[in-house]
Amino acid sequence: MSASTLPALKDAALVIVGHGSTLNPDSSAPTFVHARAIAEKGIFREVHTCFWKEEPSMREVLWMVESDEIFIVPNFISEGYFTQTVIPRELNLTGPLTKRDGKVIRYCQPVGSHPHMTDALLHRARETAPGVPAGDTSLFIVGHGTDLNDNSAKAAKDQVRLISALGEYAEVISAYMEEAPLISDWASLAHAPNVVVVPFFISDGLHSYEDIPVLLGIAKEGGVAASQADVFRRNPYHLRGRQLFYASAIGTEPMIAEVILDQVMAWNDPAKTD
């Protein structure tokens, strides 16, 4: 499909799909924020959100959409079980393009797989450590790890490769909470005097508020509640002879709203047409 045949977005709906959580209210916050930012641009006729673990659910959302042209973008870090199985099943999608009940539904790739995610990571890293020379800085991209998260680990490694190729930072390292290289070993993995750590997650939750800070040594286990941790605003931390800067999850970066729009436009790919 050529760009000229892509339906006018002003007559289309955008549905942003998040995971959500019954335990962590912060989980859905970035999805709502990005949806509002996109809606304010007036690009689409309507913008909706839905979740796996919160309301509105995936099974409900399409009944809320009035437009006949619908773009669905998963607000997930990587391809995997949720984007390949859960979302298509819950939304009753037959593939990248679904035609049903007079509607045309285009299923886009998750935000984390778009090349501009690299720009978002770089922006977050620079914003977290303003004025700190990148050439004297080790940049960590932190994922969860374990065999259950192979795709997210791959996504982090892909970003490390892309950012390393730019030659901006002294070194770029992927590290994980539950598999090697472990983020708890950051001091032996990093060789630069400055360290910037960016959690490669969609939202701030227990991992970014509590688990990773404890593994880094910038917080104590069993400290204050996650919502009161304030670990992102106490930079820089001075420990292990380094100056360490800790960022909030990449999914909270305002640039992700643009990445969501990029994925809508990226659907215009001959490999995804009927």
Based on the domain organization, do 135 and 248 belong to the same domain?
A: yes
Based on the domain organization, do 248 and 259 belong to the same domain?
A: no
Sign of CA dihedral 142, 145, 150, 152: negative
User: Across all residues in the chain, what is the average pLDDT?
Assistant: 88
- Portion of the chain with pLDDT greater than 70, in percent: 89
Based on the domain organization, do 108 and 140 belong to the same domain?
A: no
Q: How many residues does the structure list for the chain? A: 274
Based on the domain organization, do 160 and 132 belong to the same domain?
A: yes
Least confident segment among 60-69, 172-181, 224-233, 249-258: 224-233
Based on the domain organization, do 141 and 227 belong to the same domain?
A: yes
Based on the domain organization, do 266 and 213 belong to the same domain?
A: no
Based on the domain organization, do 107 and 176 belong to the same domain?
A: no
CA 48/CA 39 separation, integer angstroms: 9
| Backbone dihedral angles phi then psi of residue 152, each to the nearest 5 degrees | -70, -35
CA 205/CA 251 separation, integer angstroms: 11
Is 60 exceeded by the pLDDT of residue 271? no
Based on the domain organization, do 242 and 126 belong to the same domain?
A: yes
Q: Total structural domains in the chain? A: 2
Based on the domain organization, do 137 and 248 belong to the same domain?
A: yes
Q: Say if residues 18 and 28 touch (Cβ distance below 8 Å).
A: yes
**Per-residue model confidence (pLDDT) at position 64:** 95
Burial 200-209 (b: 16+ CB within 10 A, else e): bbbbbbebbb
Based on the domain organization, do 16 and 87 belong to the same domain?
A: yes
Based on the domain organization, do 107 and 121 belong to the same domain?
A: no
CA 34/CA 11 separation, integer angstroms: 20
CA 202/CA 80 separation, integer angstroms: 14
**Per-residue model confidence (pLDDT) at position 233:** 76
Each residue of 82-111: pLDDT tens digit?
899 999 999 999 999 999 999 999 999 999
CATH number for the domain spanning 193: value is 3.40.50.1400
CA 97/CA 16 separation, integer angstroms: 16
**Per-residue model confidence (pLDDT) at position 269:** 56
Q: Say if residues 139 and 198 touch (Cβ distance below 8 Å).
A: yes
pTM metric for this prediction: 0.88
HSE at residue 196, side-chain half, CA atoms within 13 A, is 29
**Per-residue model confidence (pLDDT) at position 274:** 45
Query: Is residue 248 very low, low, confident or very high in pLDDT (cuts 50, 70, 90)?
Result: very high
Based on the domain organization, do 123 and 184 belong to the same domain?
A: yes
Instruction: Name residue 243's beta-bridge partners.
Output: 194, 238
Each residue of 177-235: pLDDT tens digit?
988 999 999 999 999 999 999 999 998 877 888 889 999 999 887 554 445 557 777 89
Query: Could you tell me the CA-to-CA distances from 230 to 1, 42, 164, 223, 247 in Å, in that order?
Result: 47, 34, 30, 11, 11
Q: What average pLDDT score do residues 240-251 get? A: 95
User: Domain range spanning residue 244?
Assistant: 117-252
